[in-house]
């Protein structure tokens, strides 16, 4: 059972386009993290969101935590080839830590 569902699973876009990745659950999370992973490397933490309704910006990336703390989104503006990678949401619910199903993003120059 996957507690955190991400959509889309795969995304291929042209450089300069905008995109949004969604991370949804029916459970409440105390916080959610977003990671980016490049091929052959470990996941790198991008952000942690902890408050319902919170919005955090990291250059061209905007992260939002849902009001009910059950979902989150990642919006990338003007995507660049360097944004290519596997994006993972993750968080703790109850007494376990869960990873999302992953979104593989390819940005074509």
Partner 1 sequence: DTEVTQTPKHLVMGMTNKKSLKCEQHMGHRAMYWYKQKAKKPPELMFVYSYEKLSINESVPSRFSPECPNSSLLNLHLHALQPEDSALYLCASSLRVLNTIYFGEGSWLTVV
Which chain residues interact with partner 1 by CB under 8 A? 30-31, 33, 35, 40-45, 48, 86, 88, 90, 92, 95-97, 99-102, 104
Q: In terms of CB distance, is 40 or 109 closer to partner 1?
A: 40
Q: In terms of CB distance, is 41 or 67 closer to partner 1?
A: 41
* Shortest distance in whole angstroms from residue 99 CB to partner 1: 4
Q: In terms of CB distance, is 78 or 87 closer to partner 1?
A: 87
* Shortest distance in whole angstroms from residue 98 CB to partner 1: 9
Structure tokens, 6: 């991400």
For residue 85, the tally of other CB atoms under 10 A from its CB is: 19
* Shortest distance in whole angstroms from residue 44 CB to partner 1: 7
Residue 44: Cβ-neighbour burial (10 angstroms; 0-12, 13-18, 19+): exposed
Q: In terms of CB distance, is 37 or 62 closer to partner 1?
A: 37
Cα 69–Cα 34–Cα 44 angle in degrees, nearest 5: 155
* Shortest distance in whole angstroms from residue 68 CB to partner 1: 20
Cα 66–Cα 35–Cα 52 angle in degrees, nearest 5: 15
The neighbouring-strand residues paired with 85 are 105
């Amino acid at each position: 059972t996957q507690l955190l569902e991400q959509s889309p699973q795969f995304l291929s876009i042209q450089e300069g386009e905008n995109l949004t990745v969604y991370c949804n659950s029916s459970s409440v999370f105390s916080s959610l993290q977003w990671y980016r992973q490049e091929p052959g490397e470990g996941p790198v933490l991008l952000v942690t969101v902890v408050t319902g309704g919170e919005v955090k910006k990291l250059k061209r990336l905007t992260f939002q935590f849902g009001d009910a703390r059950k979902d989150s989104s990642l919006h990338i503006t003007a995507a660049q080839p360097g944004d290519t990678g596997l994006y993972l949401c993750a968080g703790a619910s109850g007494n376990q830590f869960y990873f999302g199903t992953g979104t593989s993003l390819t940005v074509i120059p």
